[in-house]
Amino acid sequence: MKTNLKKIVPIENLSLVDKVELRLKQYFKDNNLKIGDPIPKELEFASALGVSRTVIREALLRLRTIGVIESKKRSGMVLTQPDIIQNFEKAIQYNLLGEEALVDIFELRLILEMGMADLLFARKTPEDIAVLDKIVSKQEKEEQDTTIFSLEHEIAFHGKLYEMSRNTTLQRFQNLLLPVFEYVHDNMPEGAKDYKYSKGEFVTHRDLFKILKDGDAATFREAMRNHLEPHFDRILAMVKL
Amino acid sequence: MKTNLKKIVPIENLSLVDKVELRLKQYFKDNNLKIGDPIPKELEFASALGVSRTVIREALLRLRTIGVIESKKRSGMVLTQPDIIQNFEKAIQYNLLGEEALVDIFELRLILEMGMADLLFARKTPEDIAVLDKIVSKQEKEEQDTTIFSLEHEIAFHGKLYEMSRNTTLQRFQNLLLPVFEYVHDNMPEGAKDYKYSKGEFVTHRDLFKILKDGDAATFREAMRNHLEPHFDRILAMVKL
């Protein structure tokens, strides 16, 4: 084999399986393999790379776990499109996120809701508007006798907005983040209900709905900023450096 | 071992390794294990679950791949905080994302840049402003003689904004998405340079910089919307249902 110093890869601290994984990745790239293409068998890789079948097996298992390869009944292993959200989901399911990651993710939610106005206005349908109207009416009816903050209504309303973005990645992202939002809501400080809005008035789901129906994206953004103000206040009061 | 029907898990279509993975996840939860806690050895799991060591090994490999467990020299396997961005990164590295996922992700970038204004204004420092000033000046100097769109300057300016958000998850997300943005830029339609802005004027990096220095978040959002207008136009013209 000719050596090529330009393609050199640092090898310190890498296990044999790490190295095999890198080689496999390079192999897919060099051969310009695409989704659906078959790849060689365990035994062939083992003999080509000069390592044991166990090592190859372990490296291939990693690729299977992140969703880059899949075993097909007839054609053996083929390359697949990794499901990026599923990988994220698997990592999050174990409830092992630290405080900093939780705050980062909660901020991400605020950023997404502030940022998606243009998509909502470009993609809303009369059906969306009708469904959203029902969601808001249901909430108004059920909250008549109480001022208790209901997570269920929050999820119904904001979840519908994510759906209206027609961005599948964004929607699935939102779904898997729900446990994080529940955590944040459960940890809301006492007195959050008496929050004083800087502009005096609180922008309700009904207000947001009306703008979404007849207004424009810029107005919606500023209304959403008001709606989310207590959350922004908490987040922005934290020192991050 | 005592059976407990209340904790039953659906088993159809699951491989043995899948089932073991579910059991392990349940075990961590039931025992309320936290980051850094040691977990039993392969052999102990194998005998407690009544399956072969190979099966346990494969399930543990999965957990290691998604970053939920780690082997420590002295203490054996311990639970770790999964690095959610690293998992995302691994999946993306294989260049196997389809067209729809690429468009979704590009939309996500627009959403993030529209949505992060409040974080920028709350967290900007005099040093950030000085660095951003230099980035814009460098771009102005180098682009004097040409109107060619430079990806390098785009990345320097917008990358600095992500950094100023002080949200680590967001920054790492942006870094790993750079290849996707390069792909989109490389595929810009002819004539994108002659794009006619709806408000007549194009909001430059210098304009955004000035607002960030002396203006407010609401003004910044609408200026950013103008700055990104050609991208929004392309995205919003696509039919998604």
A115: pLDDT strictly greater than 70: yes
Best mutation target, A84, A229, A238, to test chain B (most B CBs within 10 A): A84
Question: CB A213: neighbour CB atoms within 10 A?
Answer: 13
What's the pLDDT score for residue A154? Answer: 87
Better pLDDT: A191 or A182: A182
What's the pLDDT score for residue A149? Answer: 60
Q: pLDDT-derived band of residue B190, with 50, 70 and 90 as boundaries? A: low
**DSSP, res A82:** -
Q: For residues A114 and A223, what is the distance between their CA atoms, to the nearest angstrom?
A: 10
Looking at A7-11, A22-26, A155-159, which range is the least confident one?
A7-11
| Residues in B touching A67 (Cβ below 8 Å) | 91
What's the pLDDT score for residue A240? Answer: 63
Q: For residues B112 and B86, what is the distance between their CA atoms, to the nearest angstrom?
A: 19
Angle at A37 between CA A34 and CA A42, to 5 degrees: 120
pTM equals: 0.77
Q: For residues A136 and A60, what is the distance between their CA atoms, to the nearest angstrom?
A: 49
Minimal-distance CA residue of chain A relative to B26: A94
Report CA B190 to chain centroid distance, whole Å. Answer: 29
Minimal-distance CA residue of chain A relative to B37: A96
What's the pLDDT score for residue A241? Answer: 54
| Residues in A touching B158 (Cβ below 8 Å) | none
B136: pLDDT strictly greater than 90: yes
Dihedral (CA of B28, B29, B30, B31) sign: positive
In this prediction, residues A171-199 reach a mean pLDDT of 70
φ, ψ for residue B69, nearest 5 deg: -130, 160
Better pLDDT: A166 or A174: A166
Q: For residues A240 and B19, what is the distance between their CA atoms, to the nearest angstrom?
A: 41
What's the pLDDT score for residue A90? Answer: 73
What's the pLDDT score for residue B183? Answer: 65
Q: For residues B76 and B180, what is the distance between their CA atoms, to the nearest angstrom?
A: 39
Considering CB atoms only, which of A25, A29, A101 is closest to B169?
Answer: A101
What's the pLDDT score for residue B230? Answer: 87
Minimal-distance CA residue of chain B relative to A223: B218
| Residues in B touching A28 (Cβ below 8 Å) | 94
pLDDT tens digits, one per residue of B54-69: 999 999 998 988 888 9
| Residues in B touching A108 (Cβ below 8 Å) | 167, 169-170
pLDDT tens digits, one per residue of A58-75: 999 989 888 889 888 877
| Residues in B touching A25 (Cβ below 8 Å) | 93-94
In this prediction, residues A78-89 reach a mean pLDDT of 78
Considering CB atoms only, which of A91, A166, A221 is closest to B240?
Answer: A166
ipTM of the complex as predicted = 0.76
Size of interface A-B (CB pairs under 8 A): 176
